[in-house]
Amino acid sequence: MKRQLMLCLMLTVAACAMPPPPPPPSPPPAPPSPPPPYLVFFDWNSAVLGPSGLEVIALAAQAFKAGSPVTVQVTGFTDTSGSADYNQKLSERRANAVAAVLVQGGVPQTNLVVTGRGENDLRVPTPDGVREPQNRRVEIVEGGPTPTSMR
């Protein structure tokens, strides 16, 4: 009898025990990483687009038209040969040349933010006065701040 009473008591206590807490919710998935920029490279001291640059711009325009409307950042750069003032203006000419082809390819000008960074943000760090082909570029990046005006 004592055993039955003890067994009943143990079953009652077990039935009244609180269930274990649920596991914590899993963290939300990480946001998708932004797409890599489209890169258009230029010859030294030039803002003229070559065939490979035109192909890259066409791909960027197609990607824009295939997705939902977003801002497209078009940023020009130079190497460190030339003065900082000259390089700033050259980077803007490069960015504007690429932006013009994007517009011809169907990207609305109102979706573009066009800037020049001159010899800032070098892709390949070099001392002043060095002609580095990887630094003579325009980067096309989908997404970013809302366009306010085109340079």
- pLDDT tens sequence across 89-112: 999 999 999 999 999 999 999 999
- Of 29 and 98, more confident: 98
Give the best-scoring range by mean pLDDT among 18-22, 29-33, 130-134.
130-134
pLDDT at 123: 96
Contacts of 92 (CB under 8 A, 6+ apart): 76, 114, 115, 116, 151
Pair of tokens at residue 150:
């085109």
Q: Is 103 exposed, middle or buried (0-12, 13-18, 19+ CB in 10 A)?
A: middle
Across the chain, what does the average pLDDT equal?
88
pTM of the model: 0.75
- Residue whose entry in the numeric block shows the structure tokens 């003229």: 48
pLDDT above 70 (res 146): no
pLDDT at 149: 41
pLDDT above 60 (res 150): no
CB 74 within 8 A of CB 112: yes
Q: Is 54 exposed, middle or buried (0-12, 13-18, 19+ CB in 10 A)?
A: middle
**Cα pseudo-dihedral 91, 38, 96, 150, rounded to 10:** -110
Give the best-scoring range by mean pLDDT among 4-8, 16-20, 51-55, 63-67.
51-55
